[in-house]
Amino acid sequence: MSKDLILVESPSKAKTINKYVGKKYVVEATVGHIRNLPKTKLGIDIDNGFEPNLVNIRGKGDVIKKIRSLAGKSDKIYIATDPDREGEAIAQDVVDILTAAQKEKIERVLFNEITKKAVNEALKNTLKIDEHLVTSQRARRVMDRIIGYQVSPFLWRAVIEAYGSSLSAGRVQSVALRLICEREEEIDKFIPTEYWSITAVFTTEKGEELRAKLFEVNGKTIKIPPKPEMTDQDWDEFLKINFAVTKAELANKIVETLQARDNFIISDLTKKESRKNPYPPFITSTLQVESSRKLRFRPRRTMMIAQQLYEGIDLGEEGTTGLITYMRTDSTRLSEEVVGEARSFINEKYGEKYLPEKPKTYEPKNKKNVQDAHEAIRPTSLKYTPEFVKEFLDEAQFKLYELIWKRFIACQMESGRLETTTVSIKSDEYLFKSSGTTVLFDGYMTLYDEELEDKEDQNGSGLIPAGLELNQKLNLQSINPNQHFTKPPARYTESSLIKELESNGIGRPSTYAMIMGTIIDRKYVEQIERKLIPTDLGKKVNGILVKNFSNIFNVNFTAKMEDELDLIADGEIGYLKVLNDFYEPFSKTLKEVESNLEKIKCDKCGSDMDIKMGRFGKFLACTNYPECKNIKSLKEFSPNGGAPELTGDICPKCGGNTVYREGKFGRFIGCEKYPDCDFTKIVTLGLKCPKCSEGEVITRRTKRGRIFYGCNRYPDCDFASWTMPKPKENEEEDAEPASEEEV
């Protein structure tokens, strides 16, 4: 008796589904994509409608052979690859490798969650492959290949001394790099502005304390000047409606004036009630952002763990089951059934007062960019509480699952109610303000609340004593001037960069983790204390791209292309139009750039040398091939012949020069005469180890590439920290220990 065939992407997903469907089915994995553009050539016929030349991926021969064999023996073929563009494209790749007779047996099924109920329902409600989604994926792949293949060689020539770093340009990651570099430029150019705040502590007749900050002088609000250097005219305009305290002399004068007074009264007392609404359920971007902030997981790690939770976890007697819905989604939609279950859970667990009258619904911020009609990321069943599954999950899996669980339940809970009390304290022309917030009803916050970013309170902070009244006299207990300097804009973290890309309509759920990984793996950006900082190579690459391709690698053009790719997926625009809209300005710019590029000549025949990609990397080859077969290493053309950077010091072992080198675990110093001289030295940060006080702190990398700080006496001293230690007096209190598992 023949069996039906179910094809999925991953072996673990196949294993889970196989337990649900029984012996009537054979479940096989494609192990990702089986077809792709060729590695060593463009693979796109630009003159023939941008036709892609897809070929079977090297190493997938056995997989393809097995799929064909099983397809030939099956009555029906269910393609159950992931429910997104990439999954749809893989489904089409499977169709393309089968015979005409086998294609007649194909049905498309979508699993938004991998549970027994969802899998069996999907097999009963089959679909056809969505040609629009496939076309959209092909257009994205073609666009990215053209940019990478045609811009990267230019980049290799322009930065030829850095060829060992596998330079490349990407449509989206180059824009991400540009944002990071532009932020760094803002920081470098930033000139701090000095300003002063004045805080006071008042007491009531009962001795209750009230902290407040000077807010107005002569009816003008105290403001920080927008720029450190302004013209006289700008200052006059600013001071017409604002008051500025930018010098110690003025701050001290105000303090002295107020210290001599005793006429402080409460001039205004207001109470305002507000609601704090729960956050929407997770979509891909918000999951990555929140996981980064709360769990310190990088986007790539978050998606890897989420994939495990989606594909199935062995729950002992419960068997293997998927714990969350599909994790690549832009949609905040939730099914009526699961919302009903959540409301019952809330009522039973927390009581009626935590249950809203009606279910809560959420509209996405960028509705036009929502590409797939999936649900938000949520638990597949409320039976599987974090406590229930904890023993079956590792620490990282549990943390992420608990985060998803709490966010989902909280999104259907009642809003919190807050009361903010603001007190104004006046002495003639001087007005102080203080505010405090009280939680009247915690609502969803009893389960879940985002950590607030650190913000400087402009109006004082602390508890507001009860029973305050208008015109009540207060005593000035103390008053102090405080010097401040404005701070430059913050560097991006992975989470804040994802927010920025998403708000500009750049990238999609399946790409954020890849974007972050690519710019770090290419060594264009390094991550130090969670901040993304461009390397010298990254700055150089960005400078070249912006100078020569500013109309291509920018936010507006990239967002426009993303929108057009979405329109293809919706069937509202054609493949050819989108590729033409992209290629016409791109090819025009490329021709202009190449015309100004100095050619490298062949030293044998005088023809131009061109950069080629071979099995072992990039090299220069004569364009007069096969008449001339001259090839060259790229290092021969670098300004210093590919020589490493000198440190300026002498090798203590042999007297040669020492140079900086890159090793498996980061930068180190070695002798230029290696391998004849094997002297090496670790690059330290000039800080004594806070644990042993003998060694020095060095920068190291984990197996996954994350930077941490350790002692150069390891293993004699096992000090390790994610954050760079401060100078001796503060270093221990600020060091966040690194986990042994990741190190």
The DSSP 8-state label assigned to residue 295 in this structure reads I
Burial class (CB in 10 A: 0-12, 13-18, 19+), 105: middle
Per-residue pLDDT, 738: 41
Residue with tokens 């060593």: 40
Q: Residues 46-102: pLDDT tens digits?
A: 999 999 999 999 889 999 999 999 999 999 999 999 998 899 999 999 999 999 999
Of 185-189, 204-208, 447-451, 694-698, the poorest mean pLDDT is in 447-451
For the chain, percent of residues with pLDDT exceeding 70: 87
Averaged pLDDT for residues 116-121: 92
The DSSP 8-state label assigned to residue 391 in this structure reads G
Residues β-bridged to residue 182:
none
Strand order across the beta sheet in which 684-688 lies: 684-688, 696-701, 707-711, 720-721
Per-residue pLDDT, 372: 46
* Phi and psi based region of residue 628 (left: phi greater than 0; alpha: psi -120 to 50; beta: remaining): beta
For the chain, percent of residues with pLDDT exceeding 90: 56
Task: Show the beta-strand stretches assigned E in 184-263.
Answer: 194-203, 209-217, 220-222, 242-243
Per-residue pLDDT, 396: 95
Which of 176, 179, 180, 175 lies closest to 528 in space, CA to CA?
180
Residue 387 has pLDDT above 70, yes or no: yes
Contact at 8 Å (CB) between 159 and 501? no
Of 105-109, 656-660, 704-708, the poorest mean pLDDT is in 704-708
Residue 454 has pLDDT above 80, yes or no: no
Catalytic: 326?
Answer: yes
Give the pLDDT band of residue 160 (cuts 50, 70, 90). low
Give the pLDDT band of residue 164 (cuts 50, 70, 90). very low
Q: Residues 238-266: pLDDT tens digits?
A: 999 999 999 999 999 999 999 999 999 99
Contact at 8 Å (CB) between 469 and 266? yes
The DSSP 8-state label assigned to residue 368 in this structure reads G
Residue 743 has pLDDT above 50, yes or no: no
Q: Residues 623-642: pLDDT tens digits?
A: 888 899 888 766 555 444 44
- Residue bearing the bigger pLDDT, 272 or 618: 272
Give the pLDDT band of residue 40 (cuts 50, 70, 90). confident
Averaged pLDDT for residues 178-207: 94
Residue 615 has pLDDT above 80, yes or no: no
Q: How high does pLDDT run on average in the chain?
A: 86
Query: Which of 20, 78, 195, 326 does the annotation list as catalytic?
Result: 326
Of 61-65, 309-313, 448-452, the poorest mean pLDDT is in 448-452
Q: Residues 394-433: pLDDT tens digits?
A: 999 999 999 999 999 999 999 999 999 999 999 999 999 9
Q: Residues 360-386: pLDDT tens digits?
A: 999 766 555 444 457 999 999 999 999
